Amino acid sequence: MALITFHDTCTQCGTCVAACPAGVFTQENGVGTPEVAQEASCIACGHCAAVCPVDAVVHSEFPEGTVLPIDMDAIPTQTQTLELLRSRRSVRVFSDKPVLREELERVLEAARVAPTAHNLQEVQYVVVQNRATLDVINKIVVRYFSTVAKQLRNPLLRRLYRLAMTKTELDGIIHMLPDFDIIAEKYAAGYDPILRHAPCLILAHSARTANFPETNAALALHNATLMAHSMGLGGFLTGYVVGACKRSRAIPDLLAIPHDHGVYAGLALGHPDIFYPKWIQRKPIQVAWK
């Protein structure tokens, strides 16, 4: 449980009351020092400490040195932000240059500050750089989808899949059967169709009981892709690896991921061997204004 008090420097402005998403504070008729009425409801989001203009909020979850001023000059403009978003592309051709530990730490810092449901901040990461381990992961994924393809072509086994999956899930997998065949063929020919010879793989995992674990992991690694792009790194989200982890423990066991955790997102990362100097216009947006 959080422990929240106020310094006598509080100006009684009530901003912390308005900003709190959990209704922790009350301030009768907008007058007087706010009171902590629902401390057990606090999700330690930090809104109260971040918004206070005079640093009057004392919160046990945010000791001295953890509430820091924003460098407004470092925030990109609207034009710069949009150009970053437009220019980011999935990169699947990498140079032999290794990704340094300090570069990875910067990318993971971007992932760490992504929002999570109920501010639980429960997403954890495994970073794989060992070439032999990456090769084993490739082999596991190819073997998994080759097996799935073979089973789905068996009418009896397909009926069993239909019992274990929703129609949408099964139709999606059946639609991808030709892709599974191509993966197996390329792997047999000595090509890496899963990680594309990326020198690094980041997997995001969390407890299956967490609130919206897939969304949390996706937001975190999207943050990571944008940071990587700004640093001159590139990569792509590894749907095949995550798909294999969803129904097989082979990769989680290889990487010592807890049994009560699921792998919900993955990012193959490296230094691009090619550069894209242009961005491509997307389809017109579809939106309903009400």
Q: Which residues make Cβ contacts (< 8 Å) with residue 280, sequence separation at least 6?
A: none
**Phi, psi for residue 150 in degrees, rounded to 5:** -65, -40
pLDDT digit string, tens, across residues 58-100: 999 999 899 999 999 999 999 999 999 999 999 999 999 999 9
Of the chain, the end-to-end C-alpha distance in Å amounts to 41
Do 275 and 236 touch, CB atoms closer than 8 A? no
pLDDT digit string, tens, across residues 234-250: 999 999 999 999 989 99
In tens digits, the chain (290 residues) has pLDDT values of 579 999 999 999 999 999 999 999 999 888 999 999 999 999 999 999 999 999 999 999 999 899 999 999 999 999 999 999 999 999 999 999 999 999 999 999 999 999 999 999 999 999 999 999 999 999 999 999 999 999 988 888 888 888 888 888 888 888 889 999 999 999 999 999 999 999 999 999 999 999 999 999 999 999 999 999 999 999 999 999 999 999 899 999 999 999 999 999 999 999 999 999 999 999 999 999 99
Strands 124-128 and 200-207: antiparallel
Which two tokens mark 44?
């330690």
Which two tokens mark 150?
């073979």
**Phi, psi for residue 217 in degrees, rounded to 5:** -65, -40
Query: Could you give all domains of the chain from N- to C-terminal order, each with its CATH number?
Result: 4-59 (3.30.70.20), 78-131+193-270 (3.40.109.10), 139-188 (no CATH)
Task: Give this prediction's pTM.
Answer: 0.92
Angle separating helix axes 213-230 and 101-112, nearest 10 degrees: 130
